[in-house]
Amino acid sequence: MAAVPRRVIVEVLAARAVIPNVTTYVRKVGTLANGQTLNPPTISSNDLRVKPYIVLYPSPGIPGPDERLGGDRVGLGETFQLSCVVGEEKAIDLLIDAVTSRFDEWRPVLPAPYDTLPIGRTRLLNDVMPRPDEDEKPPRYWVPLVYGLVVNN
């Protein structure tokens, strides 16, 4: 069987990143998984702090860790970042908890015809402190969560 197309992996990751009361973007702020655009919602027309949102940044991946007898590397090592963003500092921990509860040690299920391929669990690869983005007015608070995943074929 051919390698899993990257778009399939991105679709599975984007579906997993859907969390109630959180807007999920793919590849850039403002672009939803279905290709439609939507600016980050604000708390109200008078309170311009953003409601929680996530931006999924998938990588192109690298050749997987398994090696065949002929020396060919097989599979795909995928890294992806979920940038968690909130409009008030105290809400960042709640969003991080919501995201990590969905992604820590999660084993994705790929759609057919890739559903029989061995797939690893997602692993958090970084430990970064949340920080303010004071270029935005009002400021936003965010943290990038970087995960790794191995898909074999």
Domains contained in the chain, number: 1
Query: Does 61 fall in a domain?
Result: yes
Query: Does 59 fall in a domain?
Result: yes
Which 8-state DSSP code applies to residue 133? E
- For 70-78, what is the mean pLDDT? 64
- Quick one: pLDDT band at residue 24, thresholds 50, 70, 90? very high
Q: Is the pLDDT of residue 63 over 70?
A: no
Q: Which residues contact 30 (CB under 8 A, 6 or more apart)?
A: 37, 38, 39, 40
Q: Is the pTM of this model over 0.85?
A: yes
The domain that holds 143 is classified in CATH as 3.30.2000.20
- For residues 35, 40, 44 and 47, what is the CA-based torsion angle, rounded to 10 degrees? -170
From the list 34, 5, 7, the residue with the least C-alpha distance to 18 is 34
The residue range of the domain holding 19 is: 6-151
Q: Is the pLDDT of residue 77 over 90?
A: no
Query: Does 71 fall in a domain?
Result: yes
- Reported as a single tens digit per residue, the pLDDT across 89-145 is 999 999 999 999 999 999 999 999 988 888 889 999 998 899 999 998 999 999 999
Query: Does 1 fall in a domain?
Result: no
- For 44-57, what is the mean pLDDT? 96
Would you state the pLDDT for residue 61?
Answer: 77
- For 15-35, what is the mean pLDDT? 95
- Strands 140-151, 73-86: pairing is antiparallel
- Strands 73-86, 53-58: pairing is antiparallel
- Report the C-alpha gap between 143 and 127 in whole angstroms: 9
Average pLDDT, the chain: 89
Query: Does 74 fall in a domain?
Result: yes
- Strands 62-67, 73-86: pairing is antiparallel
In this structure, are residues 59 and 80 in contact, taking their beta carbons and an 8 Å threshold?
yes
Q: Is the pLDDT of residue 1 over 50?
A: no
Query: Does 14 fall in a domain?
Result: yes
